[in-house]
Structure formats: C-alpha cells, structure tokens
Amino acid sequence: MSKVSALIETEALKKYYPITGGILRRRVGEVRAVDGVSLNIPKKKCFGLVGESGCGKTTFAKTMIRLLKPNSGHIYFDVPEDIKEEIAKLEQSKKSPKLKKLRAQYDLATFRGKKLKSMRRKMQIVYQDPTRSLNPRMLVKDIVGEPLIVQKLAKGTERRKKTLEILGKVGLTEKHMYRYPHEFSGGQRQRIAIARALVTNPEFVVLDEPTSSVDVSVRSQLLNLFQDLRRELGLTYLFISHDLSIVECIADQVAVMYLGKIVELAETTELYKNPLHPYSLALFSSIPIPDPAVKRKRIELKGEVPSPVNPPKGCRFHPRCSEVIELCRKEEPELIDVGNGHFVACHLFHK
C-alpha cells in the first residue's frame, strides 16, 4: 500500500452500542457507530478524519486506542510488516492455534490488563472541550503529572522536572503549576490538556476537534503548537474535525466518514482538488468561503443524516445522493483504489 510504514492499522473495526428495551432489558437493536473501518496511519504523519456529527469518527478514534472495546476487527500498533503478512497468510489457510497466539501477542483489540495499560503510554488523546476534560478539583501540576504516577515513569523531583519540562513545551511556566483549571482561559486549558497527553512521550496522539471550543485567534496558536510539537517529538496524529478548512492546512492525508464507514480517502491536496464521492462533493461545497467575491455552485443535500441504528440498505448514502443508480440500493460499494493513492467507495467508480 504505502511506502511509509504504518504506525497504527485497523482492519474491519466495528463498534456497536446495544439498545436495550423492555422489562428484562433485552437487546432490541444496536447503534452501528463504526461499521467496518480499515485504516492505515503512516508514521510521523498527520492523518485527518472528517465527517459530520454521528458519522462515528470520535467513536472510531476512541476504539482505535482502546478507550472502548471493539466488537470485532483488529488493531495493529507498530507491528512489523512481516508479522502482519504472516497473520494474513495464516488467516487464509485457517491454521488456528498459531493464529490465535500471534493475535494475542500483536492484536491490540485483544489486549487486557497490564499489557493494555503499558500500551496506553504510547497512545494518547486530546479532547474537544478542555473545560470538561480537566478535573476541576485538581491542580495543574497533578493533572499533568498523573500519567507519570500511573505509568510508574518518574517519582518525586524527577516527576516535577518532567512536568515542568512538558509545560514549558506548550508555553506554560512554573507559576501555572499551582493553579486550578478554571483560572485559565480556554486556550491555556487546552495547552494543559496537550501537556498531559504528551508527558509520557507517546508515539500516537488522537486530536479530537481540539480547536473547536476556542476562539479564532487562539486557534492558530494551537495549530502552530501542534505542528511544532509533531516535528520536535516525532509524533503521529489523528486529527478529527468537522472544520474542513483547518484539516486542509494541517493534514497530510484525509479520510471522509459517513454513517460508520469510510467513503473516500486520499492525500490532502488530491482530495480537496478532486473530490469524487458525491457526499464529499456536497461536504466540500458547503464550506462558506471567507471571500464575498467568490461565487460558486453549492450542492445542498436534501434531508437529514439517517440514524445509525438502521442504516439504509446498500450504499448508505443512496437516499440523499443525486447520482444514485439501481445498484446503489442493493449492494454496498467497497473502498477501491482509483489511482494516485485515492480511494473511493462508490459504484460510479467501479469500472
């Protein structure tokens, strides 16, 4: 697939939420938040994930770093290529015991207990709203220092030194350590959250709409910080956002999600220049452009996003698609390579 090795790879990852009803609380249905997503995030790159509310991007990211337990599928974190190939081969020939052993050793979806806990050091997440993601009753130094305690990485003065160091990297000083989160502005709170995520020296950081809750002027400061930190610490990002203009500037590759599935995937410049999937076209055309002189054709989508409890049969987008054909109602399209590292899941491109 890609020449750069993948840091984290998922295969057919699924996450369903059961809906219980009735007196005995039986399972009457499920919310198919993530319905079979296979993604490949290259090392030291920024991978963008876009989509509207309810498409499953946050659920996918949280499942990927095992904050949620997947229902099925596999996650490979920094697994060497030859092991992955071996697993693929074994799957085809169905040799059970060795497959099971390899899976238990390398498949993040199966990890539990101590093994999972030690993996947490390497994967971190920064949430959208820093007011809610920081414990209001904890001092900044404790918030940022806690990962070191829990992961048993540093004690006493060593811990204090590391805390100070990481706070310095995000632009905060010693006097900020002894305050509570509510004494800071939104932008500063987000920096504290970033410091907490980076203090264990992770390799992979999920950024879940990290700039949505802050002001426009602070946004740019944070985005610059993200880029500097990525270069300096060699991080890999998964940048989730519904703000397409920001993703265009910060991500190397972008994937578009709709109702729990990836509908299009390409390098950023390619995708923004040449979106192929009808949903991507509508999505990109609906961004308001801050220039009154530019008038362009806007594609307005009819209707609302359907519920992930009962997704439409066949292609999930077909009820709202302007280019729908008969096949779309029956069969779900697969993600296909149309050249140049550009993947689309649409019957119109199945040639």
Residues 9-38 that bind another protein (CB under 8 A): none
Q: Which stretch binds another protein (CB under 8 A): 31-39, 265-273, 324-332, 333-341?
A: 265-273
Nearer to another protein, 38 or 151 (CB): 151
Query: How many residues bind to another protein according to rule CB under 8 A?
Result: 71
Is there binding between residue 53 and another protein (CB under 8 A)?
Answer: yes
Under the criterion CB under 8 A, does residue 52 sit at the interface with another protein?
Answer: yes
Site residues (CB under 8 A) for another protein, limited to 95-134 = 117, 120-121, 124-125, 127, 129, 132-134
- Measure the CA–CA gap between 52 and 243, rounded to whole angstroms: 9
Q: How far is CA 249 from CA 17, 40, 171, 269, in A?
A: 34, 20, 22, 9
What DSSP string describes 253-321?
A: EEEEEETTEEEEEEEHHHHHHS--SHHHHHHHHTSPPS-TT-----PPPPS-PPPTTSPPSSSTTGGG-
SS3 330: helix
Task: Reduce the DSSP state of residue 99 to 3 states and report it.
Answer: helix
Q: Would you give the binding string for another protein spanning residues 268-287, x where CB under 8 A is met?
A: xx--x---------xx--xx
In the block, residue with structure tokens 């049969």: 313
Closer of 44 and 179 to another protein (Cβ): 179
Q: Which of 158, 215, 326, 337 binds another protein (CB under 8 A)?
A: 215
Distance CA(54)–CA(47), nearest Å, equals 20
Which residue, 17 or 86, has its beta carbon nearer to another protein?
Answer: 17
Binding to another protein by residue 246, rule CB under 8 A?
yes
Long-range contacts, stretch 223-232, CB < 8 angstroms, 24+ apart: 223/249, 223/250, 225/170, 225/171, 225/191, 225/194, 226/250, 229/169, 229/170, 229/194, 229/198, 230/44, 230/46, 232/169
Residue list 145-204, contact with another protein (CB under 8 A): 146-147, 150-151, 174-175, 177-180, 185-187, 193, 196, 200
- Return the number of the residue (94 or 114) whose C-beta is nearest another protein: 114
CA of residue 311 relative to chain centroid, distance:
22
Q: Which stretch binds another protein (CB under 8 A): 5-13, 16-24, 99-107, 246-254?
A: 246-254
> DSSP letters along 177-218, please?
TTS-GGGS-HHHHHHHHHHHHHTT--SEEEEESTTTTS-HHH
Looking at beta carbons only, is 137 or 351 nearer to another protein? Answer: 137
Residues 223-242 interacting with another protein (rule: CB under 8 A): 223-224, 227, 242
Query: Which sign, positive or negative, has the C-alpha torsion 233, 238, 241, 246?
Result: positive
- State in angstroms the smallest separation of the CB of 41 from another protein: 18
Q: Does 78 bind another protein (CB under 8 A)?
A: no
Residues 290-319 as x/- pattern, contact with another protein by CB under 8 A = xxxxx---x-xx--xx--------------
Please tell me whether residue 219 binds another protein under the rule CB under 8 A.
yes
Residue 134 Cβ vs another protein, minimum distance, rounded to whole Å: 6
Side-chain half-sphere CA neighbours of 61 within 13 A: 27
In the complex with another protein, the residue whose CB is nearer, 25 or 94, is 25
Between 73 and 147, name the residue whose CB sits nearer to another protein.
Answer: 147
State the nearest-atom distance from the C-beta of 195 to another protein, in Å: 12
Q: Does residue 220 bind another protein (CB under 8 A)?
A: yes
Sheet holding 336-337, edge to edge: 123-126, 204-208, 236-241, 46-50, 253-258, 261-267, 343-344, 336-337
Nearer to another protein, 11 or 209 (CB): 209
